Amino acid sequence: TLSIQPTGEVKINGATVLAADVRASNGVIHVIDRVLLPSATPATPTQQAMTLIELAIQRGVPQFNHGNPAACAAIYEVAATSLLSLHRDNLSDSDIQQLDQALDEIKSGLSASDQAWALRDALDHVYASLSETR
């Protein structure tokens, strides 16, 4: 949305029009004294939750692939715990159950690799579910 103030100097969103109605090959332009950028729209809670999962996977996969599944599992555990505490209202009952189950499962003495996979499966489930509601 642009706000035009035609008082004295013409201003568009606070920028002064320096030259108006300049012909160009693809139309007409108006030269202003600064760059106008659209305002950033804040991410929705669903987008925030999906970004949390994406970041966890981006950080966890290299750890796993470089022989450190415990670090990967720790990253995924933080993401799963954060989803439950910060984004619970945006999760389905199935999502919550998947995350709770994975967090319980990793306490049962699984290897670090199996912990990482259990958590990753839950994160993938939640991500797919959030993608459907987007």
Summarised one tens digit per residue, pLDDT across range 86-99 is 999 999 999 999 99
Q: What percentage of the chain carries pLDDT values higher than 70? A: 99
Mean pLDDT of 38-53: 92
Least confident window among 7-11, 66-70, 118-122: 7-11
- CA distances 9 to 2, 31, 35, 69, Å, are 16, 13, 17, 63
Torsion over CA: 84, 57, 71, 104 (sign): positive
Here the tokens at position 25 are 């090959």
| CA 32 from centroid of its chain's CA atoms | 33
pLDDT of 6 above 80? no
